[in-house]
Amino acid sequence: MTGRFKRPFLVLHDYGMGGSWWWVRARSEREVLETFAWVEVVTDPDTVARSQDEGSEQVDIDGPRMPPGLDDLRAERDAQRECEGFGALAERDVVFLQRRWDEEGDEPVVYLMEVGSDGRRIRQVELAEDGTAVRSGPEDWPFNPPVVDLFAPLLSRQEISRSRFEEHWATARHDAGS
């Protein structure tokens, strides 16, 4: 793979309230996504044009060292690469997932999510232990950073069918305060 031509890709690690940006010289968008966890390749022409003059750090994907932040994302991806399920959901337009949230201090909730190819939620249903179901969409969320990395190996175990998601979406109530 080292013989193919490299070009710069604008890469973003979006963490909700902000993000880290880099220009990464690579052979393809897929190579960037396979090399760094939790990043997206930004293709919007206006964003790319604005970013060309902003002085974001430039790196070569084959370089031995990466800048702070990007180095951790590469190490995370290196640890995932040989795991069963790595990349199983990558490059899909839409994925349906079921994820349990039971952090300390929070009531346990199961989230059914429709997620786009960039790892961002499209729609979501919250299923509480008492049986209530609340649906929400982008208009209900002040921020919508990526919630999943579609290359992550364990993610394939959380996949559900579209019909299962749609069944819950149809019966859930909308709560504008979600």
pLDDT of residue 176: 63
Q: How many CB atoms lie within 10 A of CB 36?
A: 29
Contact 50, 59 (CB under 8 A): no
What residue segments make up the domains of the chain, in order of their start?
7-80, 94-174
Distance CA 158, CA 56 (A): 35
Radius of gyration of the chain measured on its C-alpha atoms: 18
Give the per-residue pLDDT at 101.
82
Residue with tokens 């999943």: 148
Q: Please give the single-letter amino acid code of residue 9.
A: F
Give residue for tokens 């919007």.
Answer: 44
Per-residue pLDDT of the chain (178 residues; tens, 9 = 90+): 555 799 999 999 998 778 999 999 999 999 999 999 999 999 998 888 888 877 778 999 999 999 999 999 999 999 999 999 999 999 899 999 999 986 666 778 899 999 999 999 999 999 998 889 999 999 999 888 899 999 999 999 999 999 999 999 999 999 765 4
- pLDDT score, position 177: 57
What distances in angstroms separate CA 113 from CA 96, 146, 148, one per listed residue?
Answer: 6, 12, 10
Measured CA to CA, the distance from residue 168 to residue 129 in angstroms comes to 14
- Quote the pLDDT of residue 178: 46
Contact 1, 119 (CB under 8 A): no
Coil, strand, or helix at residue 101? strand
d(CA 29, CA 26): 7
Q: How many residues does the chain have?
A: 178
- pLDDT, residue 153, reads 96
